[in-house]
Amino acid sequence: MTQIVKKDYSWISPLTTIGRSQQVVEKFVLNYLFREICFVSHPQNIRALTSQEYKTIAKSIDLPVSLIHSVISKFLVNLIYLRRFLRSYSFTYGYTKSLRKLQIYLHKLHRFAPIFDYSRAKENARILKNILDRKCFLPQFTTQLAVVLFVTDLNDKEHEERIIQTNLRVFCNCSAYAFHRTRNKLGLK
């Protein structure tokens, strides 16, 4: 006679009790994080969130603190690795000029943190490249990413709150000077 042993998978993820998929939960948590809480310390370093901030997120999204903590801590660690890569990689002129490369990196950023509308961001990237070509102005690659995400978020009707600019700049590894200089050149207020 064989016995059937039921395995208890409840320790893996409390998502089954919530009824939401992992991508949906990550999207809600990261959207709230980018729009409500500044996770950057003064010299553009990524800081850990306090327990009070985790409780605030849990209360507003109505999810367990442990789940929110795991999503955010995984994101922040991966963000550090992404920033190291963007800082160490030198983008050549041809790479910076390419619209296709910009769209590829937008897709990577969207998969990393789905906080913006990717299809709209691709269109904004195309428009940005046309404007930059007409003005004979070519900012750094990471600055172009940050400006595209800023414009996409600015025109987003789905969210009332805008992404905190400091979070956006750190996410794209863009300096404040380059970001605001490009915004002023393009006439974005």
User: Which residues does 21 contact at the CB level (< 8 Å), separation at least 6?
Assistant: 15
The answer to the question of residue 27 being in a domain is yes
Annotate 42-97 with DSSP letters as a single string.
TTS-B-PPPHHHHHHHHHHHT--HHHHHHHHHHHHHHHHHHHHHHHHPPPPHHHHH
The answer to the question of residue 12 being in a domain is no
Using a pLDDT cut of 70, give the percent of the chain over it: 89
Pull the structure tokens for residue 3. 């016995």
For tokens 């009332």, the residue is 160
pLDDT at 58 > cutoff 80: yes
CA–CA separation, 167 and 110 (whole Å): 15
The answer to the question of residue 5 being in a domain is no
Q: What is the pLDDT of residues 157-188, one digit of tens each?
A: 888 899 999 999 999 999 999 999 999 999 98
C-alpha dihedral sign at 71, 159, 109, 173: negative
pLDDT score of 12: 44
Split at pLDDT 50, 70, 90, the class of 125 is very high
Based on DSSP, count helices (H) and strands (E) in the chain, helices before strands: 10, 0
CA–CA separation, 179 and 165 (whole Å): 10
The answer to the question of residue 2 being in a domain is no
CA–CA separation, 79 and 45 (whole Å): 11
The answer to the question of residue 99 being in a domain is yes
CB count, 10 Å around CB of 125? 23
Query: For residues 129 and 114, is the Cβ–Cβ distance under 8 A?
Result: no
CB count, 10 Å around CB of 187? 7
Q: What is the pLDDT of residues 100-110, one digit of tens each?
A: 999 999 999 99
Split at pLDDT 50, 70, 90, the class of 2 is low
The answer to the question of residue 11 being in a domain is no
Total domains in the fold of the chain:
1
The answer to the question of residue 3 being in a domain is no
pLDDT score of 19: 56
The answer to the question of residue 132 being in a domain is yes
Owning domain of residue 73: 18-186
Max avg pLDDT among 9-18, 36-45, 142-151: 142-151
User: Which residues does 27 contact at the CB level (< 8 Å), separation at least 6?
Assistant: 114, 115
